[in-house]
Amino acid sequence: MSLPEAWNVAICLFNNVTALDFQGPIELFGFLSPASLERRGSSLFDPKIALNLHYLSTTLDPITPISGPKMNPTDVYSSTKQYDILLIPGGPGARPGVVPDELLAFIKKQAPGAQYILSVCTGSWILAGTGLLDGKRATTNKAAFARCKEATSDSIQWVPKARWVVDGNIWTSSGVTAGMDMANAFLTHVYGEKTTKQIRNIIELSAKEETDDEFAHEHGLV
């Protein structure tokens, strides 16, 4: 099997990140990595674009999420490589004053050349801090929605009832597990329903729709 063109995906890590924010989406993305495509052959997937997953942090020292094992980065934010997709998770380490300045600078530098920018949970709070969400629609974890809205630019249209929101090439999801639903929708956008249905059937994911957001009601946002 000849391997297809590959996009480089930057998975942005930092201490006190919520592990499932990035682990959920990369569970889907991993099916489209060159190694996975070569192992499975063309009988299951035959995409035009593969996904190379890179794990970035301020240094190559292990990062500590709020739960689960430490993660070893494979690259640093000072890298000169241009990435095609940025994936920004959330967690306590995503809050203003805590999020690494190097990460904010990396996103600002990468954004003009990136094909897509994705955030999960309060990762959208990080994006807001870069100015990339100014004048755009976005969402975030509903438990943190009010705090995020209050702390960010008035020009951002925070959407209270949404599993995820798309505005141009920026995709933002609601809290934690919503990242998998957004990842499914994103892969459908890029690869088509046939590919993502195969992935969902393997990992047994019952993906929610964009407006299927019960937690907006639970948190009194609508």
Q: Is the pLDDT of residue 135 over 60?
A: yes
* Calpha distance 89→8 (Å, rounded): 17
Which domain, by its residues, includes 159? 5-218
Residue tagged 């974890």 (tokens) = 141
Predicted local distance difference test score (pLDDT) of residue 18: 98
Average pLDDT of the segment spanning 93-103: 96
Q: Strand 5-12 relative to strand 49-57: parallel, antiparallel, unpaired? A: parallel
> Two tokens at 20?
């499932």
CATH code for position 17: 3.40.50.880
Nearest to 95 by CA among 129, 59, 49: 129
Amino acid identity of residue 71, one-letter, is M
Write out pLDDT tens, residues 137-178. 999 999 999 999 999 999 999 999 999 999 999 999 999 999
Please determine, for residue 42, whether its predicted confidence score (pLDDT) is greater than 60: no
Indicate the number of domains in the chain: 1
Banded pLDDT at 44 (limits 50, 70, 90): low
Give the whole-angstrom CA distance, residue 87 versus residue 89.
7
- Reference 28, options 197, 141, 208; nearest CA is 197
